[in-house]
Amino acid sequence: MGRRPQLTGRAAVLAVVVCAIAMSLAYPVREYIAQRRSITELTEQRDKLLAEIKKEEERRRQLQDPAFVKRQARERLFYCEPGQKCYVVMDDTPAQGKEATPQKPVAVKPPWYQTLWESVEAADTGKGRKADGG
């Protein structure tokens, strides 16, 4: 009995054709996936921008309301209407809703002329320290 060869000519041609088709489809599939990713990113960016536009339109609408503008002027700028008595109370307690930030003691630097005069006095009395020459 004759043994059949494992790889026939037809099988070789079929393998070459399948490889050619796979190679010809690889680049378009890769581009398709990249474009889908780009579309998704652009859609997310558009949604963020639309939300920002909506927020800015709401802010513009608020600023067109005279009552809102007056309230902001009173609260933030401490403006008063003519004939109205306004008081601003200054105290050390923080406003409600705002956290108190601990204040670090600030070292007050004396003015330059005071430092200069103190160095002249120290040199005159001999209590100053000698500067290194280097």
Q: How far is CA 92 from CA 36, 67, 68, 102, in A?
A: 58, 30, 28, 12
d(CA 28, CA 24): 8
**What pLDDT does residue 4 have?**
67
Whether the predicted pLDDT of 130 surpasses 70: no
Half-sphere exposure of 82 (CA within 13 A, CB side): 0
Backbone φ and ψ of 24, nearest 5°:
-75, -25
pTM exceeds cut of 0.75: no
Exposed, middle or buried: residue 74 (CB in 10 Å: 0-12, 13-18, 19+)?
middle
